[in-house]
Amino acid sequence: MTAQVSSPATQSMDATQNEVLAEVRNHIGHLTLNRPAGLNALTLDMVRNLQRQLDAWAIDENVHAVVLRGAGEKAFCAGGDIRSLYDSFKSGGTLHQDFFVEEYALDLAIHHYRKPILALMDGFVLGGGMGLVQGADLRVVTEKSRLAMPEVGIGYFPDVGGSYFLPRIPGELGIYLGVSGVQIRAADALYCGLADWYLESVKLELLDEKLDQLDWQDSPLKDLQGVLAQLAVQQLSDAPLATLRPAIDHFFALPDVPSMVEQLREVTVADSHEWALATADLLESRSPLAMGVTLEMLRRGRHLSLEDCFALELHLDRQWFERGDLIEGVRALLIDKDKTPRWNPPTLQALDAEHIASFFTGFDQSES
């Protein structure tokens, strides 16, 4: 259990061996994901500790803002601890059910948090890590940042609010990121609106020093923006996705994933043929069912509120461990590591539109 921190330089002590560190300095609550050996992947205990600490700081007048970061050199957060969910499901447990309910509640709370949150997205920011940062007010990437919603690679779909923030990226870029699961770097993250500031990783220590010395003058958000403006930039040149945008907008607006793969192989748009062939190969390695459900989910999410997007993802979650490809994907890629998942269906050609639609049966949109 995380201690409720309201005094300077006080650190939490909890039963999960400090997997979430909490400290207040100069009216800023610093939260650190502290599982560097596991790339700071989230456990249910970590989710609960984060929620508990954020709840405490929300009503603590001594805390003006929150900084969220990951320990170690490699990752902010590489997602959820999927192995523990797999093990629980295989043994008849309910951890997977509890985890997603509480993880989504945490992510939603971050979107609505009453004080500004500054997320330092150094290293890998994958899946559940994206869920933590996309609701933050100030999202900082570095040259080491690697952002992705890679779930389709293990037979899952981009959740943690992905049905909300991905389809709101301009054009079809978010559809591309969700259906393919590709990683992007800092320039593309800024171009897509998935980050706000770029800062060299060597300057993160200097940022901390400036935050420690910040003389609070205006609103907390404006004060934090003033600090970032001294050190960081909001645009980078040469974003690869800007060049690929015409092709992505063409191919990923097609009605279904089989059509996308077919045209990626046969049609050249804006000198992108090499990329198109590589993308077709990538899509054919992913779970056909996961991609099909992802495409439908993202297109629905374009027209849903944030709360309804989380409700839709939870609706899919409750079916996915039984009916989806996740258990097989985890087996093939993380457990047995044979890297030959037996997807069901095995090919895009065998993907049935009615099967995809069945996952959405019973979901009641709040505005309908």
Whether 128 sits among the annotated catalytic residues: the reply is yes
What is the C-alpha separation between 45 and 18, in angstroms, rounded?
10
Whether 238 sits among the annotated catalytic residues: the reply is no
Residue 57's contacts (CB-CB under 8 Å, 6 or more residues apart) are 5, 6, 29, 63, 66, 115
Active-site residue, from 29, 70, 80, 162: 80
Tell me the backbone φ, ψ of residue 230, rounded to 5 degrees. -75, -25
Nearest to 135, CA basis, from 177, 107, 103 = 107
Residue 226's contacts (CB-CB under 8 Å, 6 or more residues apart) are 218
Active-site residue, from 103, 107, 159, 308: 159
Whether 102 sits among the annotated catalytic residues: the reply is no
Q: Taking CA 42 as the corner, what is the angle to CA 78 and CA 69, rounded to the nearest 5 degrees?
A: 65
Whether 80 sits among the annotated catalytic residues: the reply is yes
Beta strands in the chain (DSSP E): 20-25, 28-33, 65-70, 75-77, 117-121, 124-126, 138-141, 146-148, 197-198
Active-site residue, from 128, 153, 181, 301: 128
Active-site residue, from 107, 151, 296, 313: 151
On whether the CB atoms of residues 229 and 241 are closer than 8 A, the answer is: no
The residue assigned the tokens 């997320």 is 119
Residue 242's contacts (CB-CB under 8 Å, 6 or more residues apart) are 191
Beta strands 146-148; 124-126: pairing state: parallel
- Residues present in the chain in total: 368
Report DSSP state, residue 254. Answer: S
Catalytic sites, residue numbers: 80, 128, 151, 159
